[in-house]
A = this chain, B = another copy of it.
């Protein structure tokens, strides 16, 4: 019997890389999907490529879609990425690093790719614990998207099986995510999480994303291999 395949959204960061490890551990052959959307962290695309090689994915696709034309986020625009914020500041309200409808767009393209290959399983590394401020990381959004995808595609309407959006990290904090990934042999040196790294790719260590990552490594008693 041929192996079942899955499309895995990959940003080259801790969460999506751990998600890929979980998908592979569940027996899926991986089609990894990344986006060059005009993000300040272009280095993450190199990381996503390295991660794809590490997992021997079947195919790694990078889709270009310039969200700078749309604007509205510190990750793509000329808006400073906040640094050294206290945890309670970035865990509650929607931060300026939110990119309008990003996961909606990324998931939609993932569905298109999956559909063209008759793949019904899609993995995304969203988690509502550390990123509770992002509406597009919440369970309610993901389940609603799944339903919409099944109503709007050939696969969902004609297929014998339904599109499933897997979110294995949904209820995990960074500590648990790292534990899970290390258990599965992930090499986090390949990853990048910073919202706005140096041109060399070196993480700033101070943006919300770097802080969450650093705290996660501290909690498991290990040094972050990229800091």
Beta-carbon contact of B69 and A100 below 8 Å: no
A141 and B151 contact, Cβ closer than 8 Å, known pairs A94-B157, A116-B70: yes
By the criterion CB–CB under 8 Å, are A136 and B153 in contact?
Answer: yes
Shortest CB-to-CB span from A154 to chain B, Å, is 5
User: CA–CA, A152 to B113, complex, Å?
Assistant: 21
Q: How far is the CA of A69 from the CA of B117 in the complex (A)?
A: 12
Instruction: Give the residues from 50 to 106 in chain A that come closer than 8 angstroms, CB to CB, to chain B.
Output: 61, 63-67, 69-72, 94, 98-105
Shortest C-beta distance, A8 to chain B (Å), equals 15
Which residues from chain B contact A100 at a C-beta distance below 8 Å? 111-113, 115-116, 153-154
Interface of A is mostly: helix
The answer to whether A61 touches B69, judged by C-beta atoms less than 8 angstroms apart, is yes
Copies of this chain: 2
Interface residue count for A (Cβ, 8 Å)?
Answer: 44
The residues of B that contact A99 with a CB separation of less than 8 Å are: 112
Does A128 sit within 8 A of B, measured CB to CB? no
Given contacts A116-B100, A147-B144, contact A70 B153 (CB under 8 A): no
Q: Would you call A12 an interface residue if the criterion is a C-beta within 8 Å of the partner chain's C-beta atoms?
A: no
Say whether A144 contacts B151, CB under 8 Å. Answer: yes
A to B CB contacts below 8 Å, 7 in the list: A64-B64, A72-B116, A72-B117, A100-B112, A100-B154, A101-B112, A135-B157
Q: In the complex, given contacts A64-B65, A72-B117, A144-B152, what are 10 additional A-B residue pairs having Cβ atoms less than 8 angstroms apart?
A: A63-B66, A65-B109, A70-B112, A100-B116, A101-B108, A104-B148, A108-B108, A135-B154, A141-B151, A147-B148
